[in-house]
A = this chain, B = another copy of it.
């Protein structure tokens, strides 16, 4: 077990590295040539422009004003200054609610920390069990933990009572937070401007009809069954192939621009390329001509494919976006069953146009259930058996194997440096690559499951990732052995010894998790704000591809909150807090530090950097609460297991906690979750009435006509024009899915936040 010195040393290293990142960030962000990396959101909103208008050439790239460096931590108060309503306006409800998860961590754990240090630490510290037993190795950390209390002592009353107090406090905070966020969502939806998805329902599994086309069938069905409310519909084309072609053309266009730039810089030498793999092998040709003809070829192919899709009835999917005359009509259609066969004419709220995941719109019902079964089994194997293929790869990546396959590399490999690299690094790298790829794998699995919007895909992937982290990181650290070995031992243990086995190892692993919080939490968050990858990529693109201001804008990668991967990681910290708050309270201050730092950093990021792909109006919140409650229940069971080894009779007193927690969850679910799933008729009616009074002349049909057209069907020009038109009419409504610029938004108050970073 680590001693206090070890912890202090580790803390020092991590604090130093975090501070280093922060200083580096503070310096880099003040350089004008990095401005687009650290403030892309303001560029996308059109409020900030490249600082090229300034006279001095050096000043364009390097900030020479020393005074600004003195205030290098000023971004922190600046990030905290923007009030929440404005933040929602500026970055959307998703982002604003997401950072509330960090403040939720503070709200839960700050009072718990005070209580734990006020009550539990003195109780633990004054009980000198560990000092009296000389044969045990122990550290000072353990003196603060529950391990310091002798078996059967009445002092455990303090821990049991505190477990109850902590649970009830968590209930209070979760309840008020759920209530608050529900009302924020309802307010956001109620005050939202007119958007196509308010009037539109996604209909799937339109049954085939021998006499009618899909379009006619949809039209007839809804004009009969919703005759007062139906307005129009848009069929969905299977444009996956076309989308691929467009993707390919854009890539080639980048190369074309690259070589044109090169030629412009060195006009005396026409650049050449090779036609083969990555331009490395094959015939040498003139690069500009070659890519030019390639682009033209692809454009022709695209046109042909476009033609085919529109004319071929097979490319129309049995799905449609059906729009209604009023929000009330859409709300009714989305919430009701249409026909007696519940697998046909499935209606659901249409996602925002930019949130639609187009490829999944046409999966039939039976296939969907089979896909989900297969993915559930796959997830089980991925979670518990992922070590098997990795161990196989690792066994291949040893020196003997490499020498066998590539005999000519024998001499190279046998050198000491390379040998130690291969032996020490290669086995680890397979695991590392797997862990980096994991979110992508999980996202692919969710896509196979057939969800139709990006927001749902994110939420489903997050659930999968949470399971993986829980089993492999949390339980995997508490118990030695691979996940499969754990599973095996759990199955062979009795139901009440599992919490005991795991619970007993909790106090012993406290120092490990403290280190984990510092390395993964503190340093990770500090690295997040530095955006090293985006910085490098932007400058590479800027150097080779950018010709115009518009290109530069496209070269910016503002990124977004990766809900699918960051939220499950965040849940792990909550889990650690719940598990350790009554056992080893010393872990809590480290957690509080993590939550505060993350809160400030992510608030800064969503204000200045991130540009969300879609806006789901905090639809992910019930998932967050569900995982928090799940973590709470796990912590209660483990604490019960731990206490049962210390003072058996107390563990039955704790049995009430998980029952209460499950009940609390059911109550909250019934009370609040419908607000995240359904849209109440009263609110729809209020908005409809209001709109009819204020805009009696509104032509809804022309407004909704092209809202749900597959993005590849919009030529760039048409798209731009439409966006312009929309922004004029309706400044807060973004309808394009591939939007690289966000809505211009309400920018009156932004100057105050922005002013600090101006120079």
Binds B, one of A131-139, A288-296, A444-452, A665-673: A665-673
A492 beta carbon closer than 8 Å to chain B: yes
State the Cβ distance, A24 to closest chain B Cβ, in Å: 47
CB pair B340 A332 closer than 8 Å: no
Residues of chain B contacted by A177 (CB below 8 angstroms): none
State the Cβ distance, A183 to closest chain B Cβ, in Å: 8
State the Cβ distance, A592 to closest chain B Cβ, in Å: 33
Our pick among B340, B491, B666, B685 for the contact of A675 (Cβ within 8 Å) is B340
Residues of chain B contacted by A342 (CB below 8 angstroms): 670-675, 678
State the Cβ distance, A30 to closest chain B Cβ, in Å: 46
CB pair A343 B670 closer than 8 Å: yes
A440 beta carbon closer than 8 Å to chain B: no
Report Cα–Cα, A340/B183, bound state, in Å.
9
CB pair A337 B679 closer than 8 Å: yes
Report Cα–Cα, A326/B230, bound state, in Å.
18
Name the residue of chain B whose CB is nearest to the CB of A328: B225
A35-55 residues at the B interface, CB under 8 angstroms? none
CB pair B340 A670 closer than 8 Å: no
Most B CB contacts (10 A, CB to CB) among A336, A659, A685 go to A336
Given A494-B492, A495-B495, does the pair A338, B681 have CB atoms closer than 8 Å?
yes
CB pair B335 A373 closer than 8 Å: no
Report Cα–Cα, A685/B340, bound state, in Å.
12
Our pick among B336, B377, B675, B682 for the contact of A681 (Cβ within 8 Å) is B336
A672-695 residues at the B interface, CB under 8 angstroms? 672-675, 678-683, 685
Report Cα–Cα, A675/B228, bound state, in Å.
25
Residues of chain B contacted by A221 (CB below 8 angstroms): 682
Report Cα–Cα, A672/B681, bound state, in Å.
27
Report Cα–Cα, A373/B667, bound state, in Å.
10
CB pair B491 A682 closer than 8 Å: no
Name the residue of chain B whose CB is nearest to the CB of A224: B685
Most B CB contacts (10 A, CB to CB) among A331, A332, A491, A673 go to A332
A336-378 residues at the B interface, CB under 8 angstroms? 336-340, 342-343, 365-366, 369, 373, 377
A232 beta carbon closer than 8 Å to chain B: no
Residues of chain B contacted by A339 (CB below 8 angstroms): 680-683
A467 beta carbon closer than 8 Å to chain B: no
Report Cα–Cα, A463/B495, bound state, in Å.
25
Report Cα–Cα, A674/B496, bound state, in Å.
38
Given A340-B680, A659-B377, A672-B342, does the pair A369, B667 have CB atoms closer than 8 Å?
yes
Given A225-B685, A369-B667, A659-B377, does the pair A336, B678 have CB atoms closer than 8 Å?
yes
Given A335-B337, A666-B369, A682-B338, does the pair A671, B343 have CB atoms closer than 8 Å?
yes
State the Cβ distance, A529 to closest chain B Cβ, in Å: 37
Majority secondary structure, A binding face: helix
Residues of chain B contacted by A99 (CB below 8 angstroms): none
CB pair A225 B340 closer than 8 Å: no
Residues of chain B contacted by A493 (CB below 8 angstroms): 494-495
A210-226 residues at the B interface, CB under 8 angstroms? 221, 224-226
Residues of chain B contacted by A224 (CB below 8 angstroms): 682, 685
Report Cα–Cα, A337/B182, bound state, in Å.
15
State the Cβ distance, A345 to closest chain B Cβ, in Å: 8
Residues of chain B contacted by A9 (CB below 8 angstroms): none
Our pick among B186, B331, B338, B494 for the contact of A491 (Cβ within 8 Å) is B494
Residues of chain B contacted by A674 (CB below 8 angstroms): 337, 342
Residues of chain B contacted by A678 (CB below 8 angstroms): 336-337, 342
Q: Residue-by-residue, is A644-665 near B (CB-CB < 8 Å gives 1, otherwise 0)? A: 0000000000000001000100
Name the residue of chain B whose CB is nearest to the CB of A227: B685
Residues of chain B contacted by A225 (CB below 8 angstroms): 681-682, 685
Most B CB contacts (10 A, CB to CB) among A186, A225, A490 go to A225
State the Cβ distance, A619 to closest chain B Cβ, in Å: 15
Name the residue of chain B whose CB is nearest to the CB of A684: B225
Our pick among B336, B343, B494 for the contact of A336 (Cβ within 8 Å) is B336
Given A491-B496, A663-B369, does the pair A337, B671 have CB atoms closer than 8 Å?
no
Residues of chain B contacted by A491 (CB below 8 angstroms): 494-496
Report Cα–Cα, A25/B681, bound state, in Å.
59
Name the residue of chain B whose CB is nearest to the CB of A186: B340
Residues of chain B contacted by A228 (CB below 8 angstroms): 228
Report Cα–Cα, A494/B336, bound state, in Å.
45
Name the residue of chain B whose CB is nearest to the CB of A685: B225
Residues of chain B contacted by A675 (CB below 8 angstroms): 340, 342
Report Cα–Cα, A683/B342, bound state, in Å.
12
Report Cα–Cα, A332/B330, bound state, in Å.
11
Residues of chain B contacted by A492 (CB below 8 angstroms): 494-497
Name the residue of chain B whose CB is nearest to the CB of A336: B335
Report Cα–Cα, A680/B333, bound state, in Å.
11
Residues of chain B contacted by A672 (CB below 8 angstroms): 342
Report Cα–Cα, A663/B225, bound state, in Å.
33
Report Cα–Cα, A682/B343, bound state, in Å.
14
Residues of chain B contacted by A494 (CB below 8 angstroms): 491-495, 497
Most B CB contacts (10 A, CB to CB) among A366, A672, A674, A682 go to A682
Report Cα–Cα, A456/B226, bound state, in Å.
31
Q: Residue-by-residue, is A485-510 near B (CB-CB < 8 Å gives 1, otherwise 0)? A: 00000111111110000000000000
Report Cα–Cα, A336/B331, bound state, in Å.
8
Residues of chain B contacted by A338 (CB below 8 angstroms): 680-682
Residues of chain B contacted by A671 (CB below 8 angstroms): 342-343, 365
Report Cα–Cα, A342/B674, bound state, in Å.
6
State the Cβ distance, A491 to closest chain B Cβ, in Å: 5
State the Cβ distance, A675 to closest chain B Cβ, in Å: 6
- Give 20 pairs: A residue, B residue, CB < 8 Å, sorted on A: A224-B682, A225-B685, A226-B681, A228-B228, A332-B332, A332-B336, A336-B336, A336-B678, A337-B678, A338-B681, A339-B683, A340-B680, A342-B671, A342-B672, A342-B675, A365-B671, A369-B663, A369-B666, A377-B659, A491-B496
List A residues at the B interface (Cβ < 8 Å).
Answer: 186, 221, 224-226, 228, 331-332, 335-340, 342-343, 365-366, 369, 373, 377, 490-497, 659, 663, 666-667, 670-675, 678-683, 685
| Shortest beta-carbon contacts, A-B, top 6 | A342-B674, A337-B678, A335-B336, A373-B663, A494-B494, A186-B340
Known A369-B666, A492-B495; 19 more pairs at CB < 8 Å:
A224-B682, A225-B682, A226-B681, A332-B332, A335-B336, A337-B681, A339-B681, A339-B683, A342-B670, A342-B673, A342-B678, A369-B663, A369-B670, A373-B659, A373-B663, A377-B659, A490-B495, A491-B494, A493-B495
